[in-house]
């Protein structure tokens, strides 16, 4: 099975910039861009933006647009030659679905949003490819305990789905540094001895190498 990894932090903290380490081997990584179209540095890393499904005749409702969006992402992950895939920024999957379905009066739409996002994580966990790692780059917000938590679209979704709980590896990014364990600031976590320290450089390639070495996966250095 593939491995989903959560990289969370405020906008501008260095999440996307952490991809720069892949410049020396751009073929190793592919980026699925949910909202933005470019990386914040010169690179040959391939970035693919999610299509606009609103004009597709088969997507004749906002709910079907969301399903098409997630199905497209799954297909890209399944077929990608790159062994490391980055979804940047994954919280916009939730935000865009919320905006698409803003006129729906029923609260069932919030359950649908949680299920769609969770099913994407399950798809990665169940993928028959032991060499792929999928990174979710995700914005944070301040939780009720004062710590940084994954940003969602409101209390109802938080009650139905704790995003960090869906991942074995959660890395918190702040001031262009990565943090690998929880503290009074974040809910970061990682398996014991996977990383050399609690604070490490925000270098996603180095993180990718460490994960592959820890689990004995191909595709690293």
Going by pLDDT thresholds of 50, 70 and 90, the confidence category of residue 73 is: very high
Residue by residue, DSSP assigns the chain as --EEEEEEE-TTSSTGGGGGGGGGSGGGEEEEESS--S-SS----EEEEPP-GGG-TT--SHHHHHHHHHHHHHHHHHH-SSSEEEEETTHHHHHHHHHHTTT--STHHHHHHHHHHHHHHHHHHH-S-TT-EEEEEE-EEE-TTSSEEE--S-HHHHHH--GGGG-SEEEEEETTEEE-S--SSB--B--TTSSS-SEEES-HHHHHHHHHHHHT-SS--
Going by pLDDT thresholds of 50, 70 and 90, the confidence category of residue 16 is: very high
Residue 221 in domain: no
Residue 220 in domain: no
Show the CA angle centred on residue 161, arms to residues 159 and 167, nearest 5°.
Answer: 145
Tell me if 185 sits within 8 A of 148, measured CB to CB. Answer: yes
Q: Is the pLDDT of residue 220 over 80?
A: no
The pTM of the whole model exceeds 0.85: yes
Tens of pLDDT, residues 102-133: 989 888 888 899 899 999 999 999 999 989 99
> Measured between alpha carbons, how far is 38 from 58 in angstroms, rounded to an integer?
29
Going by pLDDT thresholds of 50, 70 and 90, the confidence category of residue 55 is: confident
Give me the domain span that covers residue 62. 3-215
> Measured between alpha carbons, how far is 95 from 113 in angstroms, rounded to an integer?
9
Residue 193 in domain: yes
CATH number at residue 72: 3.40.50
Residue 164 in domain: yes
What is the pLDDT, as a whole number, of residue 98?
Answer: 92
| Count of domains for the chain | 1
Compute the chain's Rg from CA coordinates. Answer: 17
What is the pLDDT, as a whole number, of residue 204?
Answer: 98
Residue count of the chain: 221
């Amino acid at each position: 099975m593939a491995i989903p990894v959560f990289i969370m932090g405020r906008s501008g903290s260095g999440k996307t910039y952490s991809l720069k380490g892949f410049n020396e081997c751009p073929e190793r990584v592919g980026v699925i861009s949910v909202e933005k179209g470019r990386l914040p540095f010169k690179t040959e890393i391939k970035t693919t933006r999610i299509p606009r499904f609103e004009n597709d005749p088969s997507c004749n409702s906002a709910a079907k647009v969301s399903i098409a969006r997630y199905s497209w992402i799954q297909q890209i992950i399944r077929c990608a030659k790159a062994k490391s895939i980055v979804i940047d920024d994954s919280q916009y999957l939730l935000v865009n679905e919320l905006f698409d379905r803003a006129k729906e009066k029923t609260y069932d739409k919030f359950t649908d949003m949680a299920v769609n996002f969770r099913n994407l994580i399950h798809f990665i966990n169940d993928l028959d490819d032991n060499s792929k790692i999928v990174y979710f780059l995700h914005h944070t917000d301040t939780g009720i305990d004062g710590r940084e938590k994954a940003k969602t679209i409101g209390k109802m979704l938080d009650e139905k789905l704790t995003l960090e709980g869906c991942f074995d590896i959660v890395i918190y990014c702040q001031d262009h540094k990565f943090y690998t364990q929880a503290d009074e600031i974040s809910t970061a976590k990682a398996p014991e001895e996977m990383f050399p320290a609690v604070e490490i450089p925000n270098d996603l390639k180095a993180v990718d190498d460490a994960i592959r070495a820890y689990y004995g996966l191909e595709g690293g250095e």
